[in-house]
Amino acid sequence: MPSLSMDREIFTYKGARRLFALTALLTVGQGICIIFQAIFLAGLVSGLFAGQSVSAIGSRALLFFAALVCRYFFVFLIKHFSYRFAERTSSDMRKKFLAKLFELGHGFIRGQGTGTLVTLTLEGTAQIRQYLELFIPKMAANGILPLMILAYVFVEDRLSALILLITMPVLIIFMILLGLAAQKKMNDRWASYRVLSNHFIDSLRGLATLRYLGLSKLHQKSIERVSDKYRVMTMGTLRLAFLSSFALDFFTMLSIAFVAVSLGLRLVDGHILLGPALTVLILAPEYFLPVRELGQDYHATLDGREAAHKLNALASREENDHTQGDLIPGTWSDHSVLAFEESSVDYRDGKQKKALDSINFSACGFEKIGIIGASGAGKSTLIDLIGGFLGAASGSIKINGRKADLTDAKWRRLITYIPQHPYLFSASLKENIAFYAPEATEQQITGAVRSAGLETLVSQFPKGLNEKIGAGGRQLSGGQEQRVALARAFLCDRPILLLDEPTAHLDIETEYELKEAMIRLFQGKLVFLATHRLHWMDQMDRIAVFKEGRLAEIGTQSELLQKDGSYRSLVRSQLEGIQ
């Protein structure tokens, strides 16, 4: 049974109250039709029973039919209005969510996973729509129809009304008790369930490993065995879970049977007439219908409610309160200065330790700054901070001496960011290169292609620059992907360049070749390069060494090598041979 109290949220959606009022009104209309339909049908049957001729019942037959058509027309209208509401509301939610997603980008997605977000946007919206579409009409039907029918039956025959009245709570109590028992059994077995239901996909994912271990043939047996175990266990739970709908069926049918028998006994005694008795008998199943329909889509609505909660929570999530800065300058010049003062960044999962802890340093003009340190020392966090993918928890960031908010879109427009795995869109090579500068001319694009060293690749493609790449097209190697990113950077020519470990995953020859193109790109730009690869440090003006979230030292390479500090020990531990 869905607990109605948990769904208050639904009434905060626009138009929900109006829809509820409308639905309630239409449901009342539907209830009146149901009662009339029963009265006319009973009249028809008892008339024929009393010996009326077939030709005499035409008008009543017509009335019955009219009541029936009206009844289902009301249902039709309710469905129509609630679908419209559900469609509009779920679309609004999706729009709000997507806007947020593409406003925050990066940091938002990293915490969630691409697959989850896409599924939530597409399937989640569909589930929400289904939930919204079903919830209000069902609530109205359950609140109104049984009461109306019961009231009418009470007028016709008190004993039958009493039977119906008593059955309802008994039925609901049994359903809840059995539902809870099934849930408890599920929970008790949750751990084994998880293992069993994951086993198959886990096996598929580990297929290559199984093959290398010589177990892949043998494992087939284990799939059969586990699937069978899973079946037995599922059936054990289902036996209990289905009991709750068994209770529903059992009590409804028994209640109708009791009504029929009690009517029969009193007819024999002449306490009641056939007409009213038939009406009551016809209404008895109608009395239980809304409850029975409630259970049908229960799980669908659960998923929808869950999705709605998640979508709303994510859409209304506020990133770290950004210290409102002054206007960002639209350009970056030789004299511009970016300064960090006591800047700190917290870990996303709220760990005690800080990802960046009170950083102080400044970068000016077109300096090249190497960022180095062990994994988890805060290199990437600093890059994210500069790129505005996340906000600082404390401290201040200044540009040319004035406080600045780096999450500002204007700041982003000064930056090119090249990660370890630049993303290539499923589009033509040309569109990918011109992503940051869609208005670029053919000539400019060819120039960028040349600068990035992509000419040979382009000449190999049958369609040249128009060749499709990315997920839906030709697959490029890691080095080629990196070159496309370089071409993008050459083309849009923004003054600040952020690189996060651009070459570590590449084979050494590719790295060597790429380095030449990259050094060309660095010219006349402010560069921040985070890497483990020491050879890059020769190209850097200054090196910032990070250690456990703190800036351990900063200076030119020769300065740092002179000192017996963090940089020197880092270099030593990297360069000593393998034991």
Residue list 32-71, contact with another protein (CB under 8 A)? 41, 44-45, 48-49, 51, 53-54, 57, 61, 64-65, 68-69, 71
- Does residue number 339 form part of the binding site for another protein (CB under 8 A)? no
Among 3, 8, 12, 208, binds another protein (CB under 8 A): 208
Neighbours of 19 (CB within 10 A): 24
Per-residue binding string, another protein, 286-305, x by CB under 8 A, is --------------------
For another protein, the closer of residues 329 and 395 by Cβ is: 329
For another protein, the closer of residues 341 and 412 by Cβ is: 412
- Does residue number 231 form part of the binding site for another protein (CB under 8 A)? yes
User: Taking the complex as a whole, how short is the minimal distance between the CB of residue 401 and another protein, in angstroms?
Assistant: 26
- Does residue number 268 form part of the binding site for another protein (CB under 8 A)? yes
For another protein, the closer of residues 24 and 41 by Cβ is: 41
> Could you give phi then psi for residue 206, rounded to 5 degrees?
-95, 15
Among 4, 166, 204, 337, binds another protein (CB under 8 A): 204
- Does residue number 80 form part of the binding site for another protein (CB under 8 A)? yes
- Does residue number 278 form part of the binding site for another protein (CB under 8 A)? yes
Among 140, 263, 314, 406, binds another protein (CB under 8 A): 263
- Does residue number 189 form part of the binding site for another protein (CB under 8 A)? no
- Does residue number 199 form part of the binding site for another protein (CB under 8 A)? yes
User: Taking the complex as a whole, how short is the minimal distance between the CB of residue 570 and another protein, in angstroms?
Assistant: 9
Map the footprint of another protein across residues 450-489, applying CB under 8 A: 470-472, 475, 477-479
Among 173, 223, 302, 519, binds another protein (CB under 8 A): 223
Task: Determine the size of the site formed for another protein (CB under 8 A).
Answer: 155
The total number of residues shown for the chain amounts to: 579
Among 436, 444, 446, 539, binds another protein (CB under 8 A): 436
Measured between alpha carbons, how far is 25 from 14 in angstroms, rounded to an integer?
A: 19
Residue type, 559: E
Among 25, 28, 63, 75, binds another protein (CB under 8 A): 75
Map the footprint of another protein across residues 534-553, applying CB under 8 A: 534-535, 538
- Does residue number 224 form part of the binding site for another protein (CB under 8 A)? yes
- Does residue number 532 form part of the binding site for another protein (CB under 8 A)? yes
> Could you give phi then psi for residue 530, rounded to 5 degrees?
-95, 125
The burial class, CB within 10 Å (0-12 / 13-18 / 19+), for 171 is buried
Among 8, 12, 169, 270, binds another protein (CB under 8 A): 270
DSSP string, 509-542: HHHHHHHHHHHHHHTTSEEEEE-S-GGGGGG-SE
- Does residue number 173 form part of the binding site for another protein (CB under 8 A)? no
Measured between alpha carbons, how far is 509 from 4 in angstroms, rounded to an integer?
A: 65
- Does residue number 201 form part of the binding site for another protein (CB under 8 A)? yes
As given in the structure block, the two tokens for residue 454 are: 């992509």
As given in the structure block, the two tokens for residue 31 are: 């209830």
Among 28, 63, 101, 315, binds another protein (CB under 8 A): 101
As given in the structure block, the two tokens for residue 358 are: 């009170």
Map the footprint of another protein across residues 233-262, applying CB under 8 A: 234-235, 238-239, 242-243, 245-247, 249-250, 253-254, 256-257, 260-261
- Does residue number 190 form part of the binding site for another protein (CB under 8 A)? no
Residue type, 266: R
Measured between alpha carbons, how far is 188 from 176 in angstroms, rounded to an integer?
A: 18
Map the footprint of another protein across residues 360-389, applying CB under 8 A: 374-375, 387, 389
Among 4, 6, 122, 337, binds another protein (CB under 8 A): 122
User: Strand 394-399 relative to strand 337-346: parallel, antiparallel, unpaired?
Assistant: antiparallel
Contacts of 373 (CB under 8 A, 6+ apart): 379, 545, 546, 547, 552, 566, 570
User: Taking the complex as a whole, how short is the minimal distance between the CB of residue 334 and another protein, in angstroms?
Assistant: 23
Measured between alpha carbons, how far is 225 from 206 in angstroms, rounded to an integer?
A: 18
Contacts of 2 (CB under 8 A, 6+ apart): 294, 298, 301, 302
Q: 3-class SS at 553? A: strand
Per-residue binding string, another protein, 143-162, x by CB under 8 A, is --------------------
- Does residue number 573 form part of the binding site for another protein (CB under 8 A)? yes
To 10 degrees, what angle do helices 16-49 and 125-156 make? 40
For another protein, the closer of residues 187 and 227 by Cβ is: 227
Between CA 79 and CA 87, with CA 85 as vertex, the angle to 5 degrees is: 95
Map the footprint of another protein across residues 486-525, applying CB under 8 A: 504-512, 515
Comparing C-alpha atoms, which of 88, 2, 17 is closest to residue 303? 2
Taking the alpha carbons at both ends of the chain, their separation in whole angstroms is 65
- Does residue number 104 form part of the binding site for another protein (CB under 8 A)? yes
Among 3, 5, 59, 114, binds another protein (CB under 8 A): 114
User: Taking the complex as a whole, how short is the minimal distance between the CB of residue 200 and another protein, in angstroms?
Assistant: 5
Judge contact between 409 and 417, C-beta under 8 A: no
Region of 25-33, 162-170, 226-234, 443-451 interacting with another protein (CB under 8 A) = 226-234
Task: Specify the long-range contacts of residues 204-212, CB closer than 8 Å, at least 24 apart.
Answer: none
User: Taking the complex as a whole, how short is the minimal distance between the CB of residue 498 and another protein, in angstroms?
Assistant: 10
- Does residue number 267 form part of the binding site for another protein (CB under 8 A)? yes
Contacts of 151 (CB under 8 A, 6+ apart): none
What is the torsional sign of CA 330, 332, 337, 338? positive
- Does residue number 216 form part of the binding site for another protein (CB under 8 A)? yes
Judge contact between 355 and 380, C-beta under 8 A: no
Give residue for tokens 């599920």.
186
Neighbours of 414 (CB within 10 A): 17
Please compute Rg for the chain using Cα positions. 35
- Does residue number 564 form part of the binding site for another protein (CB under 8 A)? yes
- Does residue number 264 form part of the binding site for another protein (CB under 8 A)? yes
User: Taking the complex as a whole, how short is the minimal distance between the CB of residue 10 and another protein, in angstroms?
Assistant: 20
> Could you give phi then psi for residue 413, rounded to 5 degrees?
-70, -10
Map the footprint of another protein across residues 384-423, applying CB under 8 A: 387, 389, 409, 412-413, 415-417, 419, 423
Give start and end residues of each alpha helix (H) in 105-215.
106-110, 114-119, 125-156, 158-188, 190-205, 207-212
Measured between alpha carbons, how far is 535 from 545 in angstroms, rounded to an integer?
A: 15
